[in-house]
Amino acid sequence: MMRDITIGQYYQTESVLHRLDPRVKITGTFIFIISLFVAKNITSYAVATAFLTAVILLSRIPFSFIVRGMKAVVIILFITVVFNLFLTPGITFVSFWRFKITYEGLKTAGYTAVRLTYLILGSSIMTLTTTPNNLTDGLESLMKPLKVFRIPVHEIAMMMSIALRFIPILMEETDKIMKAQLSRGADFESGGIIKRSRALIPLLVPLFVSAFRRANDLAMAMEARCYHGGEGRTKMKPLVYRSSDFTAYIVLCLYFALVITAQRVGML
Among 55, 128, 164, 248, binds another protein (CB under 8 A): 164
Closest contact distance (angstroms) between CB of 244 and another protein is 20
Binding mask 173-212 for another protein (x = CB under 8 A): x--xx-xxxxxxxxx-------------xx--xx--xx--
Residue by residue, DSSP assigns 182-193 as HHTT--SSSS-H
Q: Shortest CA distance to 118 belongs to which of 183, 55, 27?
A: 55
Closer CB to another protein, residue 2 or residue 106?
Answer: 2
Binding mask 208-247 for another protein (x = CB under 8 A): -xx--xx--xx-xxxxxxxxx---xxxxxxx---------
Q: How far apart, in whole angstroms, are the C-alpha atoms of residue 25 and residue 21?
A: 7
Q: Show the beta-strand stretches assigned E in 158-224.
A: none
Cβ atoms 84, 112 nearer than 8 A: yes
Closest contact distance (angstroms) between CB of 172 and another protein is 9
The crossing angle, in degrees rounded to 10, of helices 243-265 and 42-59 is 160
Q: How far apart, in whole angstroms, are the C-alpha atoms of residue 216 and residue 150?
A: 27
Closest contact distance (angstroms) between CB of 86 and another protein is 33
Q: How many residues bind another protein (CB under 8 A)?
A: 55
Q: Amino acid letter at 6?
A: T
Binding mask 72-91 for another protein (x = CB under 8 A): --------------------
Cβ atoms 21, 246 nearer than 8 A: no
Closest contact distance (angstroms) between CB of 159 and another protein is 12
Residue by residue, DSSP assigns 109-143 as HHHHHHHHHHHHHHHHHHHHHS-HHHHHHHHHHHH
Q: Which residues contact 267 (CB under 8 A, 6 or more apart)?
A: 41, 42, 43
Span from 27-35, 39-47, 59-67, 96-104 in contact with another protein (CB under 8 A) = 59-67
Is 159 a binding residue for another protein by CB under 8 A? The answer is no
Binding mask 92-131 for another protein (x = CB under 8 A): ---------------------------------------x
Cβ atoms 17, 125 nearer than 8 A: yes
Is 145 a binding residue for another protein by CB under 8 A? The answer is no
Is 150 a binding residue for another protein by CB under 8 A? The answer is no
Residues that bind another protein (CB under 8 A): 3-4, 10, 12, 62, 64-65, 68, 131-133, 161-162, 164-165, 168-169, 173, 176-177, 179-187, 201-202, 205-206, 209-210, 213-214, 217-218, 220-228, 232-238
